[in-house]
């Protein structure tokens, strides 16, 4: 599951870091700090993310990056089960949120609660069967990472990342009904192998499917 971006300065291949600048967000090399090409993300009229929200994404990035290197990092909810299980769940969630919704050209992520890092409503190239973050533009990638962190991190993390935490949690309110039936079936098969802790974080402790 390649989340990495290769730095042309130090040639490091690893998960990049998001930093806030005066004009928006930039993606930097986690090794040498170089800004990656074309990485500026304009904030436009969107709500500006708080420093605490950026730190949350950085914690999530660090956990995923360490898992890619088969290292344990328990700095985020759900990470204590181990690197392999963590990556499997995150990969399945990325697959889920990038599914095309039945009858629309939008992705499933567009039917979820908005985070402070918006996913563009129009994606020029719909993802392949096995998506990876590197195939998306930087602005889209940032939004997808925020949704992965919100889904994976549980209710407490969602409370901090959602733009309006009072809106019902869409994954429970509408469930998987907007997915193509074959995709919904495949996701349920993927989820069956998740640790119970991950099922509880994503869907809530009382969820049954």
So what's the pLDDT on residue 138?
75
Helix (H/G/I), strand (E/B), else coil: 107? strand
First CA to last CA distance, the chain: 26
pLDDT of 101 > 50? The answer is yes
| d(C-alpha 134, C-alpha 117), whole Å | 17
pTM of the model: 0.76
| d(C-alpha 105, C-alpha 108), whole Å | 10
pLDDT of 93 > 60? The answer is yes
Helix (H/G/I), strand (E/B), else coil: 142? helix
Rg (CA), the chain: 16
- Percent helix, strand, coil in the chain, to 5, is 45, 10, 45
**pLDDT tier, 2 (very low <50, low <70, confident <90, very high otherwise):** very low
**pLDDT tier, 20 (very low <50, low <70, confident <90, very high otherwise):** low
List pLDDT tens digits, range 146-203: 999 999 999 999 999 999 988 888 887 777 888 888 999 999 999 999 999 999 999 9
**What's the gap between Cα 57 and its chain centre?**
9
| d(C-alpha 99, C-alpha 126), whole Å | 9
The residue with tokens 């908005």 is 114
């Amino acid at each position: 599951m390649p989340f990495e971006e290769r730095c042309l300065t130090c040639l490091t291949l690893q998960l990049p870091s998001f930093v806030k600048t005066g004009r928006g967000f930039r993606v930097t090399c986690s090794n040498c700090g170089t800004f990656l090409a074309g990485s500026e993300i304009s904030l436009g009229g969107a709500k500006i993310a708080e420093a605490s929200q950026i730190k949350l994404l950085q914690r999530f990035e660090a956990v995923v990056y360490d898992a890619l290197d088969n290292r344990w990092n328990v700095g985020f909810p759900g990470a204590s089960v181990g690197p392999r299980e963590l990556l499997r769940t995150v990969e399945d969630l990325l697959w889920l949120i990038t599914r095309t919704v039945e009858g629309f050209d939008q992705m499933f992520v567009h039917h979820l609660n908005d985070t402070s890092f918006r996913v563009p409503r129009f994606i020029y190239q719909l993802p392949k069967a096995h998506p990876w973050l590197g195939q998306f533009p930087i602005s889209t990638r940032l939004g997808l990472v925020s949704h992965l962190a919100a889904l994976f991190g549980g209710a407490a993390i969602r409370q901090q990342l959602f733009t309006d935490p009072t809106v019902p949690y869409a994954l429970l309110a509408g469930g998987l009904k907007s997915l193509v039936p074959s995709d919904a079936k495949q996701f349920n098969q993927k989820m069956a192998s998740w640790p119970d802790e991950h099922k509880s974080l994503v869907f809530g402790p009382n969820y049954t499917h």
